[in-house]
Structure 1
Amino acid sequence: MTALSHLKVIDLSRILAGPWASQILADMGAHVIKIERPGEGDDTRHWGPPFLNDRDGKPTAEAAYYLSTNRNKQSVTIDITCPEGQELVRELVRGADILLENFKVGGLAKYGLDYASLVSINPRLVYCSITGFGQTGPYAPRPGYDVLLQAMGGFMSVTGRREGEPGAGPQKVGVAVVDLLTGLYAATGILGAIASREQSGKGQHIDLALLDVEVACLANQGMNYLVSGVSPKPMGNAHPNIVPYQDFPTADGAMIVAVGNDGQFARLMAEIGQPGLGVDPAYATNGARVANRDALLAIIREATVQRTTGEWVEALERANVPCGPVNSIAEVFADPQVVSREMARTIEHPLAGPIPIVASPLRFSGTPVEYRTAPPLLGQDTDEVLRDELGLTAERIAELAAKGVI
């Protein structure tokens, strides 16, 4: 049994934010039907290299990017620009619980697939629209991509080296973090709307904007500005409100030390041979450490370069001071904790056999996540879905294919 096996999702989204949300729902058991353009499909199918190799070691057309966010779904190719294709989608929506889309504002209205059109045929539908800037406001018509939003929403202004240091300047996060956060908010909002529907019997429209998500996720940095009136600046790997909470050089590389309270700080000072600093009024409290950041960090750096990262991690773990190495992606997947939690798994792919996937972080005690099917080939489920969901005959499906509708 899975948590969402009773829910059916029509996924008209592509790229990352929408597919990330629908994969979360699919992992929890929802039946997700991914609607794609005939012959083209989701843009990310072509976002490579790297591409998946088949059983003979030859590259396929399946990009790793696409594979990262589309498991447990069915792929159905429908041309929504033609009336017959629009009618197929409407018929699928009649029996659906959720629809996800990330077209430009008003982009689906001309096809009769907007919320106002579909709610009339399915009042219980939860319809989630993901756009760069939302359904309202002066920027609503604009397209939105992750790196653009990281710049406009402030993330790039607080990421990267400190001003004046070599390499300083605007810096994006190494993954499409705004898209991923939006996908998480979409999944959460959809489940909230489903819970509300249990009481009201009615679905609703969710208007989700990447810019809104990023502004919300400025978190302490946003509140730091609103409370102080001062815009935060990039601080490298340091924290604006906590010291020491950053990287430090070691004899063979670097490590992270993340001191969250005064007790941890005192134990860190004892471990580096400076126990007096743990009770020194200039450093004993976090507020004092923030005020005297530069002097304190210089003292810590003089000590950390005396041992290797491994030696420091072992010593500081014994002292109950949070610390760890700065891992490469290869080191992440080799880490004993990551291995123990089975974050890298395999799933059977129709072209390649067993392929790697990154597991869901969700661990349910009663309704575990399932890894049922690999990210589908373009249109591989079209005939099955149209037959089983809509009752179309083989002859009718062949006719639609001949016309280019599917």
Structure 2
Amino acid sequence: MKVVDLTQMLAGPYCTMILADLGADVIKVEPPNGDMVRELGPFAVDDDQRWFGGYFQSVNRNKRSVALDLKRPEGREALLAITDTADVVVENYRSGVMDRLGIGYELLAERNPRLVYAAIRGFGDERTGRSPYRQWPAFDVVAQAIGGLVGINGPPGQPTKAGPGIGDMFPAVLAAVGILAALRSAERTGRGQFVDVAMSDAVLALCERVVYQYSYGGVIAAPEGNGHPMLCPFDVFPARDGWVAIAAHRDHFWAELCARIDRPELAADARYATNPARVAHRNEVEEIITSWTRERSRAEIVEVMGGVVPCGAVNDAESLSRDPHFAARDMLVTLDQPGSSGGYAVVGSPIKLTGDPVDTFRRAPLLGEDARDVLREVGFDDLHIDELRSSGTLTAAPFDRRGV
């Protein structure tokens, strides 16, 4: 599968990274100065070149790079030559930008009827639903807020953004799913289609509970800390050296927890015997558990509870790097860093396939590093490529993968 990646920042690159990890040939078409994330770091201590840092590396691995000035006719023609042979195009510009550049969906689809064209925008594309906000710019925190996540996250009375870029990354995952569905359709029908995922819509889908709580019960969900309004215990509890998550809301798990903290009588106590009863006595349940956990380390708690009561230590970056689970699952992979003498870890792929394992990871590309190879593949000769470079239409990389 050949994917033309016209995306920047996080949402679009994360989507195409998923496809690249699964084996797609992803060609990242960047503006002459590159994806702005290249400049954001963090950079390796000994990297004095700074072609890209950790942020760019993390979501642009396994891709090839071509840097074209799409405001020039020659740049648009080069892009069209690439998309004519592609299966998928992904972009995350604001609505209408691609059309104004003369490379919108209808034109590309007319030239390549099997093409699947995916857009990730803050508020969607008018082809699938004309939002009054369709021209508004949006970033992660805006999508999290409008989609309802900020309004239910954090401690009581203090709406809080989720730490990771959920407003970018979850739309990216949904876009990848939509792309794969549209490709299956194209295999059957010979026709591609437009795939549209709005960041705000995706966040709302992630917060599905708030909708049925309101429609069924008239409840307007609000921040409740780390707990769950319908489950107990289901929270994060203090340990002597940090925090531990415990989810013992099912009655048999509650009975196991009571036995392991040497309070077996609580399992039969009518105030705590069932989940609804525990929800009604939430403060008492949480104090019972806290009085036990705060006297023990995370490791001691997990040793007692692990494998029987659902629990897990609250990891930070350092403890994640030592966790045997993530090592066994190849969830931290080391990539070469141009300009540095070392390799650096990024997150691996959580998608595990037995027949086609996701186990090949190449570093992110330098700006325009693969331009010559990509353009040769679509029929450009070296003279034409050199002309594009000399005119400024094609950005020259410090070197390409073949040293040309």
Range class of TM-score, shorter chain: over 0.9
Please point out which of 144, 153, 161 is paired with 1:150.
Answer: 144
Distance 1:302 1:361 in 2: 36
Deviates more, 1:304-313 or 1:103-112: 304-313
The 5 A counterparts of 1:295-306 are: 295-306=284-295
Give the deviation of 1:373 after TM superposition. 2.3
Give the deviation of 1:237 after TM superposition. 1.1
Relative distance call for 1:82 and 1:249 in structure 2 (3 A) is same
Q: Is the 8 A contact 1:246 1:257 kept in 2?
A: yes
Whether 1:100 aligns to 2:90 is: yes
Whether 1:133 aligns to 2:126 is: no
Aligned to 2:16: 22
Deviates more, 1:83-92 or 1:253-262: 253-262
Q: In structure 1, list runs of 5 or more residues that go unmatched.
A: 1-6, 164-168
Please point out which of 179, 190, 193 is paired with 1:201.
Answer: 190
What is the identity, as a one-letter code, of the residue corresponding to 2:64?
Q
Q: Is the 8 A contact 1:347 1:371 kept in 2?
A: no
Whether 1:401 aligns to 2:394 is: no
CA-to-aligned-CA distance 1:171-193 (integer Å, 9 cap, x gap)? 11111012110110011000000
Aligned to 1:287: 276
Please point out which of 219, 226, 230 is paired with 1:237.
Answer: 226
Give the deviation of 1:25 after TM superposition. 0.6
Distance 1:278 1:404 in 2: 74
Tell me the C-alpha RMSD between the 2 structures.
Answer: 1.6
Q: Is the 8 A contact 2:332 2:348 kept in 1?
A: yes
Please point out which of 247, 271, 293 is paired with 1:258.
Answer: 247
Distance 2:122 2:362 in 1: 30
Q: Is the 8 A contact 2:49 2:339 kept in 1?
A: no
Aligned to 1:166: none
Aligned to 1:3: none
Distance 1:342 1:130 in 2: 29
Q: Is the 8 A contact 1:52 1:62 kept in 2?
A: no
Aligned to 1:41: 34
Distance 2:134 2:15 in 1: 22
Aligned to 1:375: 364
Give the deviation of 1:91 after TM superposition. 1.1
How many pairs align?
Answer: 389
Relative distance call for 1:177 and 1:91 in structure 2 (3 A) is same
What is the identity, as a one-letter code, of the residue corresponding to 1:37?
P
What is the identity, as a one-letter code, of the residue corresponding to 2:313?
P
Please point out which of 40, 43, 63 is paired with 1:51.
Answer: 43
CA-to-aligned-CA distance 1:197-240 (integer Å, 9 cap, x gap)? 11111100011100110111103233222321211111111112
Distance 1:303 1:73 in 2: 50
Corresponding residue SS for 2:387? helix
Q: Is the 8 A contact 2:60 2:364 kept in 1?
A: yes
Aligned to 1:62: 52
Corresponding residue SS for 1:281? coil
Whether 1:189 aligns to 2:182 is: no
Deviates more, 1:67-76 or 1:281-290: 281-290
What is the identity, as a one-letter code, of the residue corresponding to 1:72?
N
The 5 A counterparts of 1:335-374 are: 335-352=323-340, 354-374=343-363
Q: TM-score, normalised by structure 1?
A: 0.92
Identity %: 40
Relative distance call for 1:57 and 1:94 in structure 2 (3 A) is closer
Please point out which of 72, 77, 86 is paired with 2:76.
Answer: 86
Q: Is the 8 A contact 1:160 1:234 kept in 2?
A: yes
CA-to-aligned-CA distance 1:273-324 (integer Å, 9 cap, x gap)? 3222212222111111112111221222222223222222111126x11112
Distance 2:393 2:274 in 1: 67
